Amino acid sequence: MEQHDRGRTVTSGTSTLLEVDSVYKRFGGLEILGGVSFSVERGEIFGLVGPNGAGKTTLFNCILGIIPADSGRIILDGEDVSRMPVWKRASLGMARTFQRLELFSGMTPREHLLVAYRVHKRNGSIFRDLIGHGIPTREEQERAESALELFGLVDVADTPVEVLSLGHGRLVELARAFILEPSVLMMDEPSSGLDAAETGRISDMLNNLRGSGRSCAVIVEHDLDMVTKVASQIAVLNAGKMIAQGAAREVLADPEVRRVYLGTV
């Protein structure tokens, strides 16, 4: 059902948290995304797979608002965010992790979480923080501690991130996205560079997220084993177009998918 609320189009009465509607993107003369559409329900994990250069990261960036789509719409929890900047989409509940690590050297995992949570809750005074009086509240400390526990980061909580392993760094990124309590969590290859135990932690986290029924996630992943375990739906992007979408087992058995993605028929 559509309602018009102060000039915004708000769709209510649906459990769809993210709707991507016919997104097109060209770079130079090349069409990178050729009309991509999908939707993700509350509590659902959506797996996006496809060969190198298929356009997965470009699609992520259009959804997040990092690059503008040429046309198409992005609807976040019933609200059209297509023309909103990144920070506005983030404030409405979109969080992300990066294909390559984006952490602040000199800061520890605990500090990353405290800063993210404080900015998210907007309960800190920037001036007090700047002059070093922004001591974390009890609630902030408890939140950070439970995220550190959930992601297995307690032992390295106070170690500067630049001396951590890639696996730990990736878990810090995930914990930082998770502490924002996002409604839509976007993850670009979260298991790359992780060992089996660390990948297992991500799967556990995604299962928790599904169990909570509040959020949904979109995950780009090359580890097909992992993605088929956690995702309720899988879509295959090839040369900027979705060539298959549905339950993991059916999609991976599709002859076209096997030909372009797995190299087998």
Ligand X SMILES: Nc1ncnc2c1ncn2[C@@H]1O[C@H](COP(=O)(O)OP(=O)(O)OP(=O)(O)O)[C@@H](O)[C@H]1O
Indicate the residue among 53 and 68 with the shorter CB distance to Mg ion.
Answer: 53
Which parts of 115-154 interact with ligand X (CB under 6 A)?
A: none
- Does 50 bind ligand X (CB under 6 A)? Our answer is yes
For 127, list phi and psi in degrees, rounded to 5. -65, -45
From residue 81 to residue 120, what is the string marking binding to ligand X with x (rule CB under 6 A)? ------------------x---------------------
Answer positive or negative: Cα dihedral of 188, 9, 244, 252: positive
Residue 228 touching Mg ion (CB under 5 A): no
* Contact of residue 25 among Mg ion, ligand X, none (CB under 5-8 Å per partner type): none
Query: Which among 45-53, 84-92, 123-131, 191-199 is the span making contact with ligand X, rule CB under 6 A?
Result: 45-53
Distance, in Å, from the CA atom of 123 to the CA atom of 4, rounded to the nearest integer, reads: 32
Nearest approach in angstroms of CB 76 to Mg ion is: 22
Beta strands (DSSP E) in the chain are 2-5, 8-11, 16-27, 30-41, 45-49, 71-76, 79-80, 94-97, 184-188, 216-220, 233-238, 241-246
Cα angle value 9/217/184 (rounded, 5°): 35
The answer to the question of residue 137 lying near Mg ion (CB under 5 A) is: no
Tell me if 217 sits within 8 A of 46, measured CB to CB.
yes
Tokens of 115: 């800063």
Quote the Cα angle for 74-116-184, to 5°.
25
Cross-strand bridge partners of residue 27: 30
Determine if 192 is a binding residue for Mg ion (CB under 5 A): no
Residue 57 interacts with ligand X (CB under 6 A)?
yes
CB of 57 to Mg ion, least distance (A): 3
170 lies in the binding site for ligand X (CB under 6 A):
no
Residues 47-66 within binding reach of Mg ion (CB under 5 A): 56-57
Among the listed residues 47, 55, 93, 136, the single contact to ligand X using CB under 6 A: 55
Q: Which residues are near ligand X by CB under 6 A? A: 27, 32, 50, 52-58, 99
